[in-house]
Structure 1
Amino acid sequence: MASKRFVLPLCIALSLSACQSTKEAIAKEQTQPIWTTQQPTSEYLTYGVGSASHIANRTEAQLAAQESARLAIAKQLNVEIEGITQVTQSQSNGDFSYQVDEVLYSQVPSIKLQGVKIEEEFYSRQNNTAYALASFNKVESRMHTELDIRQLDEDIVKANISGLTNSEKLKDAMAIKRLIAKRRKANDYHRQLGGGSIATPQSVKDKDKILNDFLQSLTFSISSKLWGLENIRNQLAESLTKQGLTVVGDSQVADFQIDFSVDFQDVKRNNTYYVFANSSLILLENSKEKAHVSTQIKAASSFENMAKANAEEKSAKMLSKKLTMLIIDSKI
């Protein structure tokens, strides 16, 4: 009988101990780390906190939180990079070489983040939310970026314009300009990572000047086999000049010749004049076709003359823009 009195208190004690351990385990599991609400900071690392809520599968929730953390880091870097490039792009000198630099820079793919690590994870059963803390080593990435820039400098200096015709030389020049655009974007990225701007070697500056001088030396003449298109010819010359190209008169010998044509169709409906224009442009070098662009536009106005003028202006702008992009993209 005495043994039963000892057994009962022992069972109660074990039961209380088990309950206490369970409560402590639950409390420990539900203790939310401070990084889930306060993102850590570091001189060398960039942190990103991600979360994913109300996903039934816990594994999928954790994966979603990890991706969210990576995106948080990428967003921080992209925002700061945009802030840097906006300042650079505002410094226009208005020539074709600047136009080339800006277009090629915009075409360089964004630098992909490599080396992002998931430092910690936490899952809150109470909130049904997964959290992930990711880090990105700026110092290590900065070192790799600097090596890439040095290699680009070597490639730029080694590259040369070796084409025989102006169109071939133009392709060579654009290829080197693309390397310079890559260097510029990598340098912006290196600066964003806290490494400062890596000075451009004088040899690279000299090569860039050679390219710019060549681009600015190219000349274009404009003509049309059709009569009565003098007004749109002037519009086209003005639009190409705004793009940075050098347009010369018909009496001068040009590196490239532009032959264009426009077909207008007029329609009047409900006291409104509509003009439909089908226009095309052929770029020639030594009487050989190098590129062909076309465009269709519509213009409208209450006045017939204004509708025609709007159609001419729109056609000229569209043709000049398409031609400029073909030249920059080395598709001539």
Structure 2
Amino acid sequence: MMWGAVQAGADRPDVEAEQGWDAEHEAALFLDEHRLDHCPDNRAVILYAIRHPDSALGREVARRTDGGVRLTSEDVVALRPLLRAHEEAGAGQGAWQRDLGVQADRLEALTSDARQITSDFTSDMAALSRAHRDATDASGTKDVAVLIEQLIARIARTEHDLAQLSGDIASLRDRIETAPRDADVDPLTGVMSPVGARRLIAELADQPHGYGLATCGLDDLDVIEARYGRSVADNVLRAFVATLRQACEGVDIIRWQDNLFVLLLRGRPLAHLALMMEEARAAMLARTLRLRGSGEPIGAVTLSAGVAVGMGVPMQEAFDRAEAFRAIASAGQGNRVVSRA
């Protein structure tokens, strides 16, 4: 089955199964065609891509299967972060809609109360004036005091409710501003983009125990692209990121630009990140990457990395040192990790 054939149905989201298009059935056929296991994770990725072809996940599946290329299990693993980003964004959007509806109802009710209080204020004050004017004994004065206390209590309750609502709306605004978006995730590799890492980067200088920063990239990606084409180079990049994930558990990975990745490890010694990068280098060298279809190996693919420490300094300072080390590492044949000159 071609992905384009699946998209033909998915382009009409209003078409239901009884009208001739069943996304669940299409997902099952897709998994069979691409020889993928029908496990819940695989099924969830493909089903979402079929139902939302214009999403980042749908477009990436379409790109990877363009021309009849078979999707592999490694591809699906690499695509899962995109699915999580979509699910979190969708769940957050639904929550915002519900919360906004609740806050709007509360605001409308409080606005109505405030209008009523304003309207009543004139009449209440007129009543107080008359009561004060007509008061000739202690009981009349007591009535005036009771009216004043009731009015003050109503105003205080409304002020409290308005203050609480203001706090709720501010919290809701923060949730909306910090929610994940498509731009937060690199669509090719599924790791963070610089946009997605902006808050993390801003907080680095305040890390009490400092942070480790590595910059890394593949040594011969340009040669691979020139020889085999962009799609093969993209697949090699995805394999590279999968290797980084396995070797650098607990590290934040950012695709900084093209073949340059930034890895951040907070609160642990520099040696930990340097060791992880060395493990990633050895694992990448040991991989045998082959062309789909022919099975021809493309040869050894290596990485070079520079590792620096940041202690109470912005990311740019540690980044510049790591890049200087990476330049040393990549000189000659590359395939090195340098953490000190």
TM bracket (short chain): under 0.3
TM-score (norm 2): 0.25
Which structure: larger Rg?
1
Q: TM-score, normalised by structure 1?
A: 0.26
> Which structure shows the higher strand fraction?
1
